[in-house]
Amino acid sequence: MAPRVLVSDKLSKTAVQIFKDRGVEVDYLPDLGKDKEKLLEVIGQYDGLAIRSATKVTEKVIAAATNLKVVGRAGIGVDNVDIPAASRKGIIVMNTPFGNSITTAEHAIALMFAVARQLPAADVSTHAGKWEKNRFMGVEITGKTLGIIGCGNIGSIVATRGVGLKMKVVGFDPFLSPERAKELGIEKVELADLFKRADFITLHTPLTDKTRGIIDAAAIATMKDGVRIINCARGGLVVEKDLAEAIKAGKVAGAGIDVFEAEPATDSPLFGLENVVCTPHLGASTSEAQENVALQVAEQMSAYLIEGAVSNALNMPSISAEEAPILTPFVKLAEVLGAFAGQLTEDPITEVEILFDGQPAGMNTRALVAAALSGLLKPQMQSVNMVSAPLMAKERGIQVSEVRRDKSGVFDGYIRVTIKTAAMERSVAGTCFSDGKPRFIQIKGINMEADVGRYMLYTTNKDVPGVIGEIGMAFGKAGINIANFHLGRDEEGGNAIALLYLDEPLTPAFIKEVESLNAIGQAKLLEFDI
Ligand SMILES: NC(=O)C1=CN([C@@H]2O[C@H](COP(=O)(O)OP(=O)(O)OC[C@H]3O[C@@H](n4cnc5c(N)ncnc54)[C@H](O)[C@@H]3O)[C@@H](O)[C@H]2O)C=CC1
Ligand SMILES: O=C(O)C(=O)COP(=O)(O)O
């Protein structure tokens, strides 16, 4: 059945055409996202949800989204999506990180000019026939200091535009390297320095616990008198009430505000103030940007829903369409190895080490780690998947480490999963042959070569004569067929293990009976999603 996508915000219709061309069913209901109740009612029918900023993908929406696999944000900011809730449910959240950056940077520059020359008020006055030539005295931009808070995609574009306008540009961003600052032609500064020196301040960070209220009364007090502030990033970065007070007091000479603490903003302390230029979250609203983001989000969501390719996901490593077919057998292998270890371990796991030897070491190991963790946690959490597993492991305090090394043995490559609990350590290794099927090659340090079956009985025993006979007798007496049998041991007369392939699951009573056989230590029924 074709996957179904709901477009619940106003995206360019290009998205609809792309979904259809890729074989995805699509419902285009651009106002539905604003109707919370209706969204809750219908979301269960969809595999994908394409949004902008109006649809709020809350924990409640995610709980109701019983079939949802992917949320695609046609734009950058994902603060309207509860990503931890989505991750917990295994839903991928992706955005289009570059499609609207130039357009948004241009809006910041447009607001800067509008504030510097009071263009909107002058426009209203002139339309009213007042000709107030003396009322609107502006400031020049050339030679002024532009302070950019957040020098990522958009902040960097604003920086180059500022340099082009002959401004002195200073930037604050903890992740801005001195080399990158030099390349942009700007000076990297601390925030306090930026506040002290800037004539214009423009914000380009995401809204996080660190950045919320970054411009408040205390920050404004350290700024130059007559500073002008532009916010095209997110409402909440600026404390609107504090900015309004500072404008009324004449400390701040003007502000250009595109984003608000509460949106849609129907009321704000900034409304009606002299030289505050407001726009209704128009940063990304050009036809070029909207074409870009619609096209990109529809391509990305279709690629995921149809081919399993992942790009620009915020809660899952990327898997390109080209690598998906090569990676898939190793994803399955990693999951099987994790599942083996997870099913044999009842105590809390404290550590997991995943070793990639040879061929898989050169692959997308983040995806393979996610797959191994998903297999490992599945016995405890049925709905865990590659998206949710890393977060679940972290929330459970499991330390995950990854080791990559060159080919070291007879196989072109293999993966080994080692887990630790307070009481023990256990490892299992496997490889993929050219048929793409996973094989176990080592269990608890014992070499063997065994296919993976849907139902398998794993036993540990002493390497003494008669074990196979005893097990065989028990199965024969119970009338249960053994499809295949693999054995391995560490040394003659030492520890041995057996893997029995079964056509169907065993009853707990029968497993107990096997466990009670003389030479048998442990007997455990394993199930693999194969
Ligand atoms: N008004 C609108 O319509 C639009 C708004 N946006 C918003 O613009 C903002 C920036 O977007 P991009 O440049 O694409 O993001 P980005 O991720 O490329 O850049 C953000 C930068 O902020 C920096 N940063 C993070 N915490 C910081 C802190 N505490 N102090 C200083 N810098 C910090 C990061 O290191 C990063 O370099 C986002 O909030 C996004 O949602 C994006 C598009 C349209
Ligand atoms: O991309 C972003 O982060 C934006 O803020 C753009 O929002 P919008 O898609 O115009 O509602």
Give the domain ranges of the chain. 4-98+288-307, 101-278, 316-452, 454-530
Residue 318: predicted pLDDT:
86
Q: Nearest Cα to 277, choosing from 323, 315, 217, 228?
A: 228
Element (H, E) at 405: strand 399-405
**Cβ(283)–Cβ(158) under 8 Å?**
no
Check residue 49 and give its pLDDT. Answer: 98
The binding-site residues of ligand 1, defined as CB within 6 angstroms of any ligand atom, are: 75-77, 97, 100-101, 104, 149-155, 172-175, 204-206, 210-211, 232-234, 258-259, 281, 283-284
What architecture does CATH give domain 4-98+288-307?
3-Layer(aba) Sandwich (3.40)
- Nearest alpha-carbon partner for 206 in 183, 243, 231: 231
State the fold for domain 316-452: 60s Ribosomal Protein L30; Chain: A; (3.30.1330)
Predicted pLDDT at 464: 86
**Does residue 264 have a cis bond before it (omega within 30 degrees)?**
yes
Ligand nearest to the CA of 264: 2
Reported ipTM: 0.99
- Do 4-98+288-307 and 101-278 agree at the fold level? yes
Catalytic residue (one of 234, 299, 416, 439): 234
**Rounded to the nearest whole angstrom, what is the distance from the C-alpha of residue 181 to the centroid of ligand 1?**
16
Please provide the distance, in angstroms rounded to a whole number, between the alpha carbons at the two ends of the chain.
21
Residue 512 Ramachandran class (φ > 0 left, ψ -120 to 50 alpha, else beta): alpha
Is 263 among the catalytic positions?
yes
How much is the pLDDT for 93?
96
In this structure, what token pair is assigned to residue 193?
């320095």
Cα dist. 449→329, 368, 498, 509 in Å? Answer: 17, 21, 11, 29
Angle between helix 101-116 and 119-127 (nearest 10): 60
Question: What's the confidence (pLDDT) of residue 44?
Answer: 98
Q: Does domain 101-278 have CATH number 3.40.50.720?
A: yes
Q: Is the pTM of this model over 0.90?
A: no
Query: Which residue stretches of the chain have pLDDT < 50?
Result: none
- Identify the CATH homologous superfamily for domain 454-530: ACT domain (3.30.70.260)
- pLDDT for 26 equals 98
Q: In terms of C-beta density within 10 A (0-12 exposed, 13-18 middle, 19 or more buried), how is residue 221 classed? A: exposed
What values do phi and psi take at 226, rounded to 5?
A: 80, 15
Determine contact, residues 359/413, Cβ cutoff 8 Å: yes
Distance (angstroms) between ligand 2 centre and the Cα of 175 equals 23
